[in-house]
């Protein structure tokens, strides 16, 4: 009788089963990376949102873009909408939880910005509302989801769907996707392609001269008069 598979063996088996179809996502990630590099270096913005574990992964992605993945480069504008806790709770309290991302999309999104929504199920109401708001505002809407078809995939312009029924595997490959997307963004940046487009330059702080000022240096108060006699009193 064969021994039962351990938790690790079962998990790795599910992950291994999802890898062959996932490899077909590379052209999509490369194209998204090139699009983001062009739009973000031109002053555009990436808005990202998710719930639970997907929220953590979305925030991981924005951190890599505002900071860096590998090499130093200009910072890129990327905002994790779920990290705006005061806005999130205020909107949820006043308008309902389905509006927590959509209202922020309407506030921050501009035509030609990109909205990326992460969901293992593809059925979260607040992400569906955000996708509708994004399309109405002229944003390009993308999604990372689990198996398609699903409502979020249908609501967005394009989707990277991980073909696995195991939500843990879906989230793990979403993390791989975030890292690859950042790598493709950095690969397409002007400093990597030889493009001569002006890039962000860290502002230089003007040097402070150490040379002594001309004339005598005075300190203290010199306008106090001695009993009205008109003679300055030295401080």
Mean per-residue pLDDT pooled into runs of 10, the chain (235 residues): 85 97 97 97 97 96 94 94 95 98 97 97 97 98 97 98 97 98 94 50 42 47 46 47
The confidence score (pLDDT) of residue 192 equals 64
The confidence score (pLDDT) of residue 70 equals 86
Q: 187: which 2 tokens?
A: 């690969």
CA distance 147 to 54: 15
The confidence score (pLDDT) of residue 1 equals 65
The CA–CA distances, whole Å, from 18 to 116, 172, 193, 206 equal 22, 11, 33, 55
Cβ–Cβ < 8 Å for 122, 150 = yes
Give pTM, 2 decimals: 0.80
Q: 61: which 2 tokens?
A: 């992605």
CA distance 108 to 124: 21
Q: Which of 118, 99, 2 is nearest to 49 (CA)?
A: 118
Q: CB atoms < 10 A from the CB of 151, how many?
A: 18
């Amino acid at each position: 009788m064969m021994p039962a598979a351990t938790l690790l063996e079962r998990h790795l088996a599910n992950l291994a089963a999802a890898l062959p179809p996932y490899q077909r996502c590379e052209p999509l990630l490369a194209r998204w990376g090139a699009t983001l590099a062009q739009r973000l270096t031109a002053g555009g913005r990436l808005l990202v949102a998710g719930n639970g574990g997907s929220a953590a992964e979305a925030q991981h992605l924005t951190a890599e873009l505002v900071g860096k993945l590998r090499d130093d480069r200009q910072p890129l504008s990327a905002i994790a909408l779920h990290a705006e806790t005061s806005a999130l709770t205020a909107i949820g309290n006043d308008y309902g939880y389905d509006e927590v991302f959509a209202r922020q999309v309407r506030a921050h999104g501009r035509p030609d910005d990109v909205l990326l929504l992460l969901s293992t199920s593809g059925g979260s109401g607040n992400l569906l509302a955000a996708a509708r708001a994004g399309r109405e505002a002229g944003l390009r809407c993308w999604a990372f989801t689990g198996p398609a078809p699903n409502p979020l995939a249908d609501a967005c312009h394009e989707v990277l769907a991980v073909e696995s029924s195991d939500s843990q595997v879906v989230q793990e490959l979403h993390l791989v996707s975030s890292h690859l997307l950042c790598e493709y963004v950095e690969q397409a940046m002007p400093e990597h392609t030889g493009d001569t487009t002006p890039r962000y330059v860290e502002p230089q702080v003007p040097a402070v001269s150490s040379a002594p000022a001309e004339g005598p240096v005075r300190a203290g108060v010199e306008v106090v008069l001695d009993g009205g006699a008109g003679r300055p009193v030295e401080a």
